[in-house]
Amino acid sequence: MSSQLKICHVITRMIIGGAQENTLYTCQGHLERGHKVTLVTGPSEGAEGSLLKQTCPPGLEIIEIPSLCRNLNPLQDWKAYKELRQLFQTRYFDVVHTHSSKAGILGRLAAWKASVPLVVHTVHGQPFFPYQFFLKNWFYIAAERYAAKHCDKIFAVAQAMIDQCVRAKVAPRSKYKVVYSGMDLEAFIEAQPEPELMQQLGITEKNLVVGKIARLFDLKGHDVLLEAAPKIIASVPEVKFLLVGDGPLRAKIEKKAADLKITDHIIFAGLVPPAEVCRYTALMHVLAHLSLREGLPRTAVQALASGVPVVAYPLDGTPEVVINGLSGYLCEPKQPDKVADAVIRLLRNPKRRVKMGEYGRQEVQKKFSWRLMSNILEIEYIEGLERKKAATDSSLEPVNKTVRTNR
């Protein structure tokens, strides 16, 4: 087997988001290791912004398939599947690595049909979750079960993702492996408050800042934070709430802040390029991560790398990042009073904040390096290809598909 692999990553869209950053860091790591890497994606326009317009590793081949869209559309989905299958049949990739649900289902089926030697998938977050209509959950679970039969390995960004998949009988536990999300933490570790940015945002030295980094989107928890805000303000009048991100709910959030008469305490930073998020975490004293659906909360990792403790829910992979009572507090979901109490506890106790933030900083450095992530995946690719080749050559085990040998 050649030491240089031809690797193709498939993801529905490259907006500014956690799964997309994770995928791009994986591409970068494998390019630096001398592999040929292709990224296949659908259109990435929208309020969230395009990640590829912000950053793109040198040497990365990008192929856009217009029919590969996030929303369910049978005709477009069938077209995307056919285009992916044709691509895989003509480009002779060694590995096809799909990401998230839509691209994961279509990409795995197309790669398996095209007899790609190794087909793997990463679960960044579940398409099925408790706060979704049950028929939609049923559909996604059925689709994930079918797709899982058409790949060799499934990675997950948190152990919680594996537990959820196994409970839903998507695939046996033996098919999964945890590979924690990787990110560049150095900038967050080194970042310091910038007086110019503070002035621009209307933050003074006297303010205590509660940050939230998330798209202004359903299930991200902005509504709960706003409902908790009056109680926090009553206890800590100098508090400011710094909302980093943009999206379709901005007008609704602005109206709710006005209705609650807390507009003077709310700062909308808008869409911030990933490379500049560290400038904003450096201004925060507490991060409120209140998403109801998150594979592994990258923003919590980044805040902790900045020494900022986190208030969050014990959902999905969050407890693997935020250790309750040590690097922050985990609250019962959708309970504004409990969120307010946890935030107040941190804002009013500087020593506790610093201690928790420092503990979190030490812990995230051990687990969430992007180079560690890309190295683990490279080893998984190589070992997976070797196992498939050995099984084919020896004919000791039946193989469910013809494994193509690249020439």
Tens digits of per-residue pLDDT, 254-312?
A: 999 999 999 999 999 999 988 899 999 999 999 999 999 888 999 999 999 999 999 99
Pairwise CA distance, residues 172 & 165, whole Å: 9
Please state the rounded mean pLDDT for residues 102-125. 96
Question: Is pLDDT above 50 for 407?
Answer: no
pLDDT, residue 1, reads: 46
pLDDT, residue 70, reads: 84
Tens digits of per-residue pLDDT, 350-377?
A: 999 999 999 999 999 999 999 999 999 9
Question: Is pLDDT above 50 for 61?
Answer: yes
pLDDT, residue 3, reads: 84
Please state the rounded mean pLDDT for residues 317-338. 97
CB 345 within 8 A of CB 329: yes
Please state the rounded mean pLDDT for residues 201-216. 96
**Which positions ≥6 away from 134 have C-beta within 8 Å?**
none
Judging by beta carbons within 10 Å of its beta carbon (0-12, 13-18, 19+), is residue 351 exposed, middle or buried? exposed
Question: Is pLDDT above 70 for 110?
Answer: yes
Pairing, β 6-11 against β 176-178: unpaired
Per-residue H/E/C for the chain: CCCCCEEEEEECCCECCHHHHHHHHHHHHHHHCCCEEEEEECCCCCCCCEHHHHCCCCCCEEEECCCCCCCCCHHHHHHHHHHHHHHHHHHCCCEEEEECHHHHHHHHHHHHHCCCCEEEEEECCCCCCCCCCHHHHHHHHHHHHHHHCCCCEEEECCHHHHHHHHHCCCCCHHHEEECCCCECCHHHHHCCCCHHHHHHHCCCCCCEEEEEECCCCCCCCHHHHHHHHHHHHHHCCCEEEEEEECCCCHHHHHHHHHHCCCHHHEEEEECCCHHHHHHHHCCCCEEEECCCCCCCCHHHHHHHHCCCCEEECCCCCHHHCCCECCCEEECCCCCHHHHHHHHHHHHCCHHHHHHHHHHHHHHHHHHCEHHHHHHHHHHHHHHHHHHHHHHHHHCCCCCCCCCCCCC
pLDDT, residue 127, reads: 83
Tens digits of per-residue pLDDT, 222-251?
A: 999 999 999 999 999 999 999 999 989 999
CB 88 within 8 A of CB 96: yes
What is the pLDDT confidence band of residue 406, given thresholds at 50, 70 and 90? Answer: low
Fold observed for domain 186-367: Rossmann fold (3.40.50)
pTM for the model: 0.84
Q: CA triplet 206, 349, 210: central angle to 5 degrees?
A: 55
Please state the rounded mean pLDDT for residues 78-97. 98
More confident residue, 15 or 66: 66
pLDDT, residue 53, reads: 86
Residue with tokens 């999905």, as numbered in its chain: 316
Residue whose C-alpha is closest to residue 329's, from 316, 306, 345, 317: 345
Pairwise CA distance, residues 39 & 20, whole Å: 11
Instruction: Write down the CATH number for the domain with range 6-182+369-394.
Output: 3.40.50.2000
CB 385 within 8 A of CB 118: yes
Mean pLDDT of the chain: 93
Query: Which region among 42-51, 112-121, 195-204, 384-393 has the lowest average model confidence (pLDDT)?
Result: 42-51
Question: Is pLDDT above 60 for 403?
Answer: no
Pairwise CA distance, residues 273 & 129, whole Å: 29
Domain boundaries, the chain: 6-182+369-394, 186-367
Query: Which region among 37-46, 315-324, 325-334 has the lowest average model confidence (pLDDT)?
Result: 37-46
Tens digits of per-residue pLDDT, 130-152?
A: 777 788 889 989 999 999 999 99
